[in-house]
Amino acid sequence: MHRYFRSPLGLLVALVGLGCATTVAAARPVSDERAAELNELIDGRKARITLARSGEASARSAKDVTIGPLTTEWLEQIPSAAEWKPRSAQTSNLQRIQIRRRGLGALEGLAFGIALGALAGAAFGASLPSHQEGLGALYFTSPAAFGALVGAGAGGLLGPLIGAAIGHRTTIEFEGGNEEP
């Protein structure tokens, strides 16, 4: 087993990362209906476009992407300038398009933040003596329950911020032959 997954924290990080990504398959040739579905998914988002046989190093920053059955068009960011130039390629030459969905990332961050915060808070609370005096004793008989509540609250505040910053990654993978429709 890879050493990264030997620790519970490493496994947890890997599982959280898997939960924040979606892959959508797009079979070639792309039909008009499928192109419309993919365009709805991409609508208004910046993207990274990778052409087939060009490799990951040539992923291009793009916006205003429009997928068609024959041709895909976009505005490509020129690295040396702050301008966008129109580009296009045959849809059959696309390998993948990646987008980030920040709103969905915030919702996932909320869910993960509450769950992980509650677990961490409960573990911390459970490590305290049960006769602990203070705020926790006012509301709960168990410091673990109070810790879970405080941890869930903290995770509920931090999780959406982190989730929105990272975003939910959606990848459209183009598969199949390079024939045109």
**Contact assessment for residue 156 and residue 6, using Cβ atoms and an 8 Å cutoff:** no
Q: What are phi and psi of 26, to 5 degrees?
A: -125, 110
DSSP characters for 43-107?
TT--EEEEETTT-GGG-EEEEEEEE-SSEEEEEEE-TTSS-EEEEEEEGGGEEEEEEEEHHHHHH
Count of helices and strands (H, E) across the chain? 5, 7
**DSSP secondary structure letter of residue 140:** -
Residue among 23, 41, 24, 18 nearest 112 (CA): 18
Q: What are phi and psi of 166, to 5 degrees?
A: -80, -45
Domains of the chain by residue range: 20-101+167-175, 103-165
Bridge partners of residue 25, in order along the sequence: 173
CATH number of 20-101+167-175: 2.30.30
Residue type, 60: R
Residue among 53, 23, 27 nearest 179 (CA): 27
pLDDT of residue 23: 87
Q: How far apart are CA 95 and CA 112, in angstroms?
A: 31
Q: What is the pTM of this model?
A: 0.69
pLDDT tens across the length of the chain (181 residues): 445 445 555 555 555 555 578 888 888 899 999 999 999 999 889 999 998 865 555 778 899 999 999 999 999 988 777 789 999 999 988 999 999 888 888 998 999 999 999 999 988 888 877 665 555 555 556 788 888 899 999 999 999 999 888 888 989 999 886 544 4
pLDDT of residue 87: 92
Bridge partners of residue 90, in order along the sequence: 71
pLDDT of residue 1: 45
pLDDT of residue 14: 55
